[in-house]
Structure 1
């Protein structure tokens, strides 16, 4: 479910400002759970294609107090005969600054399989990677240079929720660095301002809107073809994500939440 989880991630390339590390987590806490419905554009209709869940738990990692981030995605059982997806993502990051410590991606998308692991060795400024995909049919290991401002796919979501968009002007690029499939990419999000968003249940929310530069690969063609709307509050929960993929479009809508740090998000028309 690479396409489902990646469209819920925000990504980055250096422009007028440099990529910044997270000074302190403000947006989430252990016990949070967020669920999404994923829809796919099949010809002229939209179908319920899958669901995605994110969760945060307290953890310990090699002496560090940490958070354990979990991401799970699947296709709906009724569509498994067309394209079965069962994906899990796990990441460990430090409590306050969300510095990545460990990452594991185990994904099954049709006949395509991926099993990637990263170990972030802060003292040596390196990332040890173990990368497998069914196209290569073998596992490769290598070491990648590491600095404090680099994120894996899952921890990047939580980093982005801590961005203070009041510090940016409309159309300004916000950079950070992402490791995907053992390679570091310099990408960006572009702040598009504020907007009122109506959800499928007809509730309306104040949101912050931005687009994202995508990594060229098996799902995306690359380019700035993803748009995200997050709640304009302290939680900064993504409400809607839409992205162009190589065959059609995909959209994700917030379904339900649990354990938010600042309480339930509030629509303008409850």
Structure 2
């Protein structure tokens, strides 16, 4: 029988995936064509002052219980003299969820006004574990250079240098690009791969389009949504669905809801409030 400590550790690891999965949800306003080397794109959807809040729920003992909150904001800023956007995603578990795992995570990303990735940071406090992942981008001779690092609570640090002639993104900078692409000609089963910097390596993530669906949020608002699945491959190349997610079928391409499976059960993140978005919420079903 699994000891209580081992159960708690599995819960901590599962809780640590929540913010990552939510961040990935936030990038799902994409077209289903491969990303090319053109890292600049005209901003269409992002706007200074946008703010989205979410409720986080877990399925424990046959009932859904609220486990925490998350907030995503976008603000104008300047980075090393370059006019930019700063995106920030904060998530935390509540007191009842802290019994099983404690999560206090912050993701920060800066992109230029042309939506080129410039900087990414993830500070993750999960149980007794605290790590800081960073990615710093530069562009020289049509090459993307990414300097990544992970720093542990005890001061240990791991660095990773990566160069590519293809664009590289992190969990939030891909959102900036994706939200400004108008999806057309979707076909069920269409896929794309995203190269993403994690602080320790570059990962490829598979996204699959799965049609449309109407989704009702906790405030009883129904949105017409585009449905995608996030898929990973294990060491044997076997595919596994991690998450099903729903984004608004309008020009805002806002994440409305996600559902996913963790080691300790099912979970979902549901939209609570939106303010400061650029366009009317035309995906609301009357």
TM over 0.5: yes
Compared CA separation, residues 45 and 222, structure 1 to 2 (3 A): farther
Pick from 128, 132, 147 the counterpart of residue 128 of structure 1. Answer: 147
In the other structure, the counterpart of 2:49 is: 31
How far residue 113 of structure 1 moved from its aligned partner, in angstroms, is 1.5
Q: Distance in 1 between matches of 2:277 and 2:61?
A: 37
Q: CA RMSD in A?
A: 2.6
Moved more, 138-147 or 235-244: 138-147
Pick from 103, 106, 129 the counterpart of residue 120 of structure 2. Answer: 103
In the other structure, the counterpart of 2:10 is: none
* TM-score, scaled relative to structure 2: 0.82
Q: Which runs of 5+ in 1 are unaligned?
A: none
Say whether the 8 Å CA contact 2:135–2:197 is kept in structure 1: no
Q: Distance in 2 between matches of 1:244 and 1:160?
A: 25
How far residue 264 of structure 1 moved from its aligned partner, in angstroms, is 4.5
Deviation digits for residues 128-160 of structure 1, max 9, x if unmatched?
1121246x9721123112445211112223333
Say whether the 8 Å CA contact 2:133–2:198 is kept in structure 1: no
Q: Distance in 1 between matches of 2:282 and 2:100?
A: 35
Q: Distance in 1 between matches of 2:282 and 2:101?
A: 34
In the other structure, the counterpart of 1:143 is: 161
Q: Distance in 1 between matches of 2:279 and 2:88?
A: 20
In the other structure, the counterpart of 1:83 is: 101
Q: Secondary structure at the match of 1:150?
A: coil
Pick from 69, 86, 93 the counterpart of residue 87 of structure 2. Answer: 69
Say whether the 8 Å CA contact 1:121–1:127 is kept in structure 2: yes
Say whether the 8 Å CA contact 1:118–1:130 is kept in structure 2: yes
Compared CA separation, residues 43 and 237, structure 1 to 2 (3 A): same
In the other structure, the counterpart of 1:4 is: 18
Q: How does 1:170-185 map to 2 (within 5 A)?
A: 170-185=188-203
Compared CA separation, residues 23 and 144, structure 1 to 2 (3 A): same
Compared CA separation, residues 113 and 201, structure 1 to 2 (3 A): same
* TM-score, scaled relative to structure 1: 0.86
Q: Distance in 2 between matches of 1:262 and 1:211?
A: 26
Deviation digits for residues 209-265 of structure 1, max 9, x if unmatched?
111124879xxx973221111111011111111111222122000010111011446
Moved more, 79-88 or 102-111: 79-88
Q: Which runs of 5+ in 2 are unaligned?
A: 1-14
Q: Distance in 1 between matches of 2:191 and 2:285?
A: 29
In the other structure, the counterpart of 2:34 is: 18
Pick from 265, 268, 271 the counterpart of residue 251 of structure 1. Answer: 268
Deviation digits for residues 26-65 of structure 1, max 9, x if unmatched?
1221110111101112231211011111111111112211
In the other structure, the counterpart of 1:45 is: 63
Pick from 49, 52, 60 the counterpart of residue 78 of structure 2. Answer: 60
Q: Secondary structure at the match of 1:165?
A: coil
How far residue 268 of structure 1 moved from its aligned partner, in angstroms, is 1.6
Compared CA separation, residues 167 and 150, structure 1 to 2 (3 A): farther
Compared CA separation, residues 243 and 162, structure 1 to 2 (3 A): farther
Count of residues in correspondence between the two structures: 261
Compared CA separation, residues 74 and 138, structure 1 to 2 (3 A): same
